[in-house]
Amino acid sequence: MSHHYSGPDFGFPHGDARLDLTDLYAFPKPGDAGKSILIMNVHPSASVNPPGLTTGDPFAHEALYELKIDTDGDAVADIAYRVRFSASEGGKLTATLRRVDGIQAAGTGDGGQVIVEGAPVSIGREARVTDAGDYRFFAGWRSDPFFFDTQGARNNLQFTGDDFFADKDVCSIVMEVPNSALGRQNLGLWARTLDGVGGKWVQADRGARPLQAVFLTGAENAAYLGGEPADDARFVAVFAHSLQHAGGYTPQEAKRVAGTLLPDILSYDPKRPASFPNNGRTLTDDAVDVFLPILTNGKVTGDKVGPHTDLLGEFPYLGPPHKG
């Protein structure tokens, strides 16, 4: 529900769970201030409405999974990391990671400098990690680190502390990146998925800050998920309307608060400790308890759920999948 299932009343992007962006994390590498950990999670293992499991095929080979990085504060990407996956052969997949800089980073395509090629995708519990120079790379099923009382959210925000995600999995793309490759200290990050089934790349999903696309986009959900952060000012009125309804804000205050949530970019300074919403996002940051007071104008302050205990102390940091 951070961005899982794109909200309780929306289907998966383009009807494909593998294209569904769930969460974005960014934090300094523990024990090494010269590197950062960037995590893009997609494809939740289970859906809420209708309830049930999604496909066991982790990533779509017809898709592009992309992390965008803005280095100059204009909400336009200056660096892009792109991941494509092979078709499954005997249940095995591989991944290729590319990097693009400059004006091409803001565009759409699957080209770029190859950083990692033919990296094995982890299907089971073992984390298959690929080293490439100063980079480390992982892709595959992991225990979902997101924690939230989803059913409480669907019950008019009446929370009981029942963590829907305690036994759920997600497909993770994890990169260890030297800070020298990130351009500068004050960065803006977001992730997106693109669908290439129709012969051209079409953006299916995007996001950075957790939860807001679920609760605030309303009828503009499809336009929002297909949009660009540089154009997010057009959604201030939509967000403000939802905040008025959910939190009882005045129109003026709702517009002001909506403006603080857009553009949908995760701010990150690699030289500072990570803590959402001020700088990046760690796997234990309680993003729900940050967002709920905003959504409800302080009426609801939390969902009574805390971080998961199966996280790892080393790369790729997310715990092994439950279903493995």
Convert the pLDDT of each residue in 103-119 to its tens digit: 999 999 999 999 999 99
**Whether 264 contacts 2, CB under 8 Å:** no
Question: Residue 25: pLDDT band by 50, 70, 90 thresholds?
Answer: very high
Q: Which residues pair with 28 in a beta bridge?
A: 36
**Predicted local distance difference test score (pLDDT) of residue 49:** 78
Q: Rounded to whole angstroms, how far apart are CA atoms 184 and 199?
A: 36
Convert the pLDDT of each residue in 260-300 to its tens digit: 999 999 999 999 999 999 999 999 999 999 999 999 999 99
- Per cent of the chain over pLDDT 90 is 90
Q: Work out the average pLDDT over 191-220.
A: 95
Question: Residue 183: pLDDT band by 50, 70, 90 thresholds?
Answer: confident
Q: What is the pTM of this model?
A: 0.96
Convert the pLDDT of each residue in 124-133 to its tens digit: 999 999 999 9
**Is pLDDT at 8 greater than 50 in this prediction?**
no
Q: Rounded to whole angstroms, how far apart are CA atoms 167 and 147?
A: 10
Q: Work out the average pLDDT over 135-148.
A: 98
**Predicted local distance difference test score (pLDDT) of residue 7:** 47
DSSP labels, 155-209: TTT------TTTT-EEEEEEEEEEGGGS-SSSEEEEEEEEE-TTSS-EEEEEESS
DSSP labels, 28-40: EETTEEEEEEEEE
Question: Residue 3: pLDDT band by 50, 70, 90 thresholds?
Answer: low
